[in-house]
Amino acid sequence: MTAEMLDTVVVGAGLAGLAAAGDLRAAGQRVLLLDKARGVSGRAATRRVTLPDGREARLDHGARFFTARAERTQRLVESGVADGWLREWTRGFARWEGGAVTAGSDGHPRYAPPAGMSALGKALADGLDVRPGVTVTRVARDETGWRVFDAAGEVARARTLLLNVPAPQQRALLAGLEVPVPDVTFAPAWAAGIVLNADVPAEWPALELRGHPTLEWIAREHTKRPAGHPPALMLHATAEWTRAHLERTPDEVLPELLAAAADVLGSPLGAAATFAHRWRYATPERRAAGPDHWDGHLRLGICGDGFTPDGHGPRVEAALLSGWTLAGHVTA
C-alpha cells in the first residue's frame, strides 16, 4: 500500500524537530514526526524511578535546564509558567574547584519543569502527529519528493524531509545521495542518577565541577520538583572520562561515578535506587555556522543544537531556535 503523500516528514522528535513541526502545522501543513524512542523530547529526557514504598522520583538525565534569552523563547517560558508546567529553578550554580566549593549566582534565570525536562517536549508535541518506536533506516528521493523507510519497509512519503538527528546518523541516512551534511561533532557523556535515603548536606541546587577527573555536574534533582519529592542526585561525567569508559556497561561505570560524587560531597551516599545512562551524542563540540541547513531544491532541512542560531552555547534554547528558523525556511 502506498503511503499518503504528506507535506513534511520530520525524523527525530527532539526539541528542534518538535519546534519546526509545530510551526509547520500552524502554517497548515500535514506533518508527521518519526522517532525511534518511545516518546518525545530527545536528550531533554527524564527518568522515572519507582521506589519500593511506591513513591516516584524523576531525574533529568539528559538536558539539565533551559534558558530564555530570545524573545520567542521568553514567550514560551511565560506561557509555560502561566499554564503550570514550567517554573524558574535557579539563577546560578555553586562551583567546585580544587576541593573548594564557592556559591554562585549570575542573576540569569534557568527554567526546569517540575515534572521533568521531558515535559518541555510534551508541551511542544501537543496536537502534533508523532509516531514513536520507528527507527528510520533509509531515505530516498524521487520526482514526487522523499520516501522514508524502516527495517520493514516504507513508512512515509512527503514533499519535504527534515532531519533532527546527530550528524553521524544524518550521514548514514543520506549516504549515496551526494548531499552535504553539516560538519558537527558531539562529546559523549555518562550520566548517573541516585535516589537518596536522605538529602546531602548542601544548600546549592547544583554544583559545577572544574578540573575534577571524573565529574562535571552534580544536581540535587529534588530542588526542581514539588515538595515531598524524594531527595535525589544527578551526576554527569566529563567528556574525557566518558570517552575513556565509553564501551563499558552501566553496571560497570555506576560504582565509580557514585564513589566520585561521595568523595566530592565528603560523605557516603545512602542510595534507595540508582541507574546509569550513556549518551553517545550528548553535547555538540564543533557546531555548524548558521541556525540550520536548508536545501530548497531538494526540500531537505536539518536542525538541532549542533547549529549556531545565536551567540550563546549549544543548549536547549539553541535547539528550539534552530527548529523555528528551519520552519520559516520551509514555508518561505
Q: Are residues 299 and 255 in the same domain?
A: no
Q: Are residues 203 and 251 in the same domain?
A: yes
Give 330's Cβ-side CA count (13 Å radius): 36
Element (H, E) at 80: helix 71-83
**Percentage of residues in the chain with pLDDT exceeding 90?**
92
pLDDT at 1 over 60: no
Q: Are residues 53 and 196 in the same domain?
A: yes
Q: Are residues 111 and 129 in the same domain?
A: no
Q: Are residues 298 and 254 in the same domain?
A: no
DSSP 170: H
Write down the residue that cell numbers 531538494 correspond to.
Answer: 298
Q: Are residues 94 and 11 in the same domain?
A: no
* Segments forming the whole domain that contains residue 239: 48-116+186-286
pLDDT at 104 over 90: no
Coil, strand or helix at 44: coil
pLDDT tens, residue by residue, 304-329: 999 999 999 889 999 999 999 999 99
Question: Where residue 258 falls among pLDDT bands split at 50, 70, 90?
Answer: very high
Q: Are residues 273 and 200 in the same domain?
A: yes
Q: Are residues 168 and 225 in the same domain?
A: no
Q: Are residues 253 and 332 in the same domain?
A: no
Residues 6, 31: contact at Cβ < 8 Å?
Answer: yes
Residue 91 backbone zone (phi > 0: left; psi -120 to 50: alpha; other: beta): alpha
**Considering the chain, what is the average pLDDT of its residues?**
96
Q: Are residues 191 and 105 in the same domain?
A: yes
Boundary (domain end) residue, out of 270, 286, 302 = 286
How many angstroms separate the CA atoms of 194 and 268, rounded? Answer: 12
CATH number at residue 245: 3.90.660.10
CATH number at residue 126: 3.50.50.60
- If one counts the domains in the chain, the total is 2
Question: Where residue 178 falls among pLDDT bands split at 50, 70, 90?
Answer: confident
Coil, strand or helix at 132: coil
Q: Are residues 110 and 124 in the same domain?
A: no
3-7, 30-34, 235-239, 270-274 — which is least confidently predicted?
3-7
Residues 183, 288: contact at Cβ < 8 Å?
Answer: yes
Record the cell numbers describing residue 123, joined without a space: 508541551
Q: Are residues 65 and 199 in the same domain?
A: yes
Mean pLDDT, range 72-85, rounded to an integer: 97
